[in-house]
Structure 1
Amino acid sequence: MTVRTPSAALLATVLLLTGCGSGAAALPHTVAGAASPPGTVRTPTAGTSPREIPGLGPATLARIPRSARQVVLVTGRGHDSSRSALVLYERTGSGWQAGPEWPAHNALKGWTGHHTAGDLRSPTGVYTLSDAGGLLADPGSRLPYTRSSGFVSPGTGFEGEPLTGSFDYVIAIDYNRVPGNSPLDWTRPLGPGRGGGIWLHVDHGGPTHGCVAVSRRHMKDLLLALDPARHPVVVMGDAAYLAR
């Protein structure tokens, strides 16, 4: 575990610019795909070990690195839906063991294969997970963790819900960012027009700008489970896209 503490001035500036989900673009070590029509979420049975991850088609499976032994699967209800489900899969000798399914929110307008700043859609694709952080103390994350007062989100969400606590725990999705830095880092290799600040974070009870959100308890569970030695990735998109 590595704890980083960037300067307060930098944190305040960065958070205003990122907005957690203002858009992003795939880096060379990530894969993004085209948007697709609505699909159906497949519900796995926790503890089962299928040879392949249910709901993923050959094109999606081919994008998952062979080194990845942990997959956070986020399956959207439909191309234009802000509702999704999250399951953590662990690769074992007999296949992929499924954890429990957790309800999640994604972006207000659903999903896209070409994310741009302000489009209010979450990016589809396969992305590495390298860095974490939050307003709260590190719960025991094996990912490098940045605790900072900069992890705040004032105001209300799209449905009038308070955003307080949304960034108590976050995991940066490596999408138009440089892995190995705090989630608050503002470096955008493909430029600000393709957005940034795409995170897994605490659900505030409504759609996001582009991130994926689950309950505080489940975010803590993820932070405790993800292990950089197992090369975790997130596979995310609407069900029809993932099934290609």
Structure 2
Amino acid sequence: MGAAPHAIPAKKWTTVPDRVIERVRDHVAMGPNGCWISTYSVASHGYAQVGWQDSGSRWVTLCHRVVWIADHGDIEPGWTVDHICKTRRCIRPDHLRLLSNLDNARRTSGRDWPLGQCINGHSDQEFWVPGTKEGPKGYCSACIGMTRHYVPESGVCVRGHAVAEHWRPASEGRRTAYCAACTADAQRRYRAKKKDAMTGWHAAKRTGSGSKRPCRRINRGETT
């Protein structure tokens, strides 16, 4: 109990008291695959969380983060604690690892390709271009290079349009090559959907049952 508190600079609070670490380690139940399942409450994201009072304020954090910090020290900004076992409530130390936010985000929806690579196997160290708050999201320059110069070998696009007639290379305003016919079809479908929605709105307004204009909803793919 005499150990110093564990610092977590990425949070508003600055320490996790030793009493909280002991509580997290005590509140576990054995689970499948050797997991140590935390019995603390689970938030909507599926991770167990623990709270405590300190300096007149209430603080809350995730239980697996507490365990990692107690064993390994601080978590630097840009990094996150990942579950190797993919069981979100597990706090077993050897089922946890530290990953960059980029690699951790790539493990969603069952995807789990090698660390440090994009889905096509290009090295992050060599090809990854980070995003900015004001600009576009991060991207793999090697993958973008592939799509900029990509031409379907079959001679037709995925919708059957002839490449010789409709295929367009990437340009300054568009990072990937594309089928002009497919783009035109998509634009026509959007205009027709918007026209139908507006017609229905005007008809409803004449009968007194209309409400808001549907333009914004159309932009989100909704027509009702």
Superposition TM-score, scaled by structure 1 size: 0.24
- Tell which structure's C-alpha radius of gyration is larger: 2
Q: State the structure with bigger RCO (CA 8 A, min sep 6), 1 or 2.
A: 1
Relative to its length, the structure with more strand (as a share) is: 1
User: TM-score, normalized by length of structure 2?
Assistant: 0.25
